[in-house]
Amino acid sequence: MSPATYTDDELFGPVHAFERPAADAPHTLQRKSVFEMVLDNYQREIFDLKTKEVNRLIQAFFIDSTEINQDLSDCLTKFLQEANARERDYQKETEFMLDFSKDATKIHQGLVQRVAVRFPNGNVTLFPSDIFFFFECQSIENCSPAFLSSVGIVNTQEADVLQFNLFYRQLKLVEQKHADFIKNHRVKFDFVRECAKDFVIPFIQKLDQQPMVASWSLWNTKAITMQFFVVFNAFFHRLAENCELNKYNDDPMDYPFREMMRDVLWNLMLVAMTWSFGAVLNRELRRMFDE
């Protein structure tokens, strides 16, 4: 969503609907704001899932704007603060963001709250605390200190660092973060580096060389690389947990990780890449991605 493309009525909901001409009032009251439509979709997707699958659902709201409007940032500050508090509580009880266990489902559902968000026009909307907001902007000069202190900022300016230097730096951080697991289970992290060198980076380069992909508004290789490592790190957590659970199997072939280590590690990177680099593309570009 780009706030600049909507009027305040469309963005936040009808303002002073009852003060308008009688002929217009009913039509105005029936009109939903963008945020209300997003929340309707959020609720509909939850209802379509089985109870045990609800915690697998990660819903996000992308706000794309040349500048983040101060009114918008101020009204979302309270939500971000309360949602961050919920996320910290959630992280205490679960190991990482993609915890699909039965206990995690109960914890997740118990910690989801409805946060009242008051918009600049006076309308109030209840946001679920497990919806994620991502803001993309060229300037933060209109944002209040309270808003900036509530959001995590990823700076992806072109001059900062080369995209592939960023990739290898993040790969090194994954290796450091999981050093105990890699050592205790004799994980050959060289397989991960080999996959990055021989497959992932050449794949990204080929995509980046496609004019239609390079010009796509959501195609930012540095930002997507950061998302790739969020997903890959979550997968690595799950792999470490499974290896620990199966460490003392009487029959190693019940969980043949060592025999299939290279395939497993390459597969984790493939899925993380598909989720990250493929997800931002539209249907036409995704066909190019598949090819």
Residue 184, CA distances (Å) to 179, 187, 247, 251, 260 in order? 8, 8, 10, 19, 17
- CA–CA dist 238, 66 (Å, integer): 37
Torsion of CA 211, 214, 216, 218, to 10 degrees: 170
Asked whether 142 and 69 are in contact (CB, 8 A), the reply is: yes
Query: What tens digit of pLDDT does each residue of 157-175 get?
Result: 655 567 778 888 889 989 9
Q: Are strands 114-118 and 124-128 parallel, antiparallel or unpaired?
A: antiparallel
Mean pLDDT rounded to a whole number for the chain: 79
* Angle in degrees, 0-180, between the axes of helices 221-245 and 261-273, rounded to the nearest 10: 140
The yes-or-no verdict on residue 194 having pLDDT over 60 is: yes
Rounded Cα gap, residues 138 and 155, in angstroms: 10
pLDDT at 191: 95
Is it the case that residue 183 has pLDDT exceeding 80? yes
pLDDT of 95: 46
pLDDT at residue 16 is higher than 60 = no
Q: Could you report the per-residue pLDDT of 222-273, keeping only the tens digit for each? A: 888 888 998 898 889 889 888 888 877 777 677 888 889 999 999 999 999 9
Domain limits, the chain: 3-150, 163-290
What is the structure's pLDDT at 102?
53
Structure tokens at 92: 């205490």
- Is residue 145 pLDDT above 90, yes or no? no
Q: What type of residue is 91?
A: Q
Confidence of residue 200 (pLDDT cuts 50, 70, 90): very high
pLDDT in the model for residue 124: 83
| pLDDT of 100 strictly over 60 | no
Taking the mean position of all CA atoms in its chain, how far away is CA 156?
16
Is the model's pLDDT at 136 over the cut of 70? yes
pLDDT digits (tens, 9 = 90+) for 41-50: 878 887 777 7
Helices then strands, counting H and E runs in the chain, come out as 14, 4
Residue recorded with tokens 């195609």: 219
Who wins on pLDDT, 61 or 197? 197
Is residue 2 predicted with pLDDT exceeding 80?
no
pLDDT of residue 211: 92
* Cβ atoms of residues 75 and 118 within 8 Å: yes
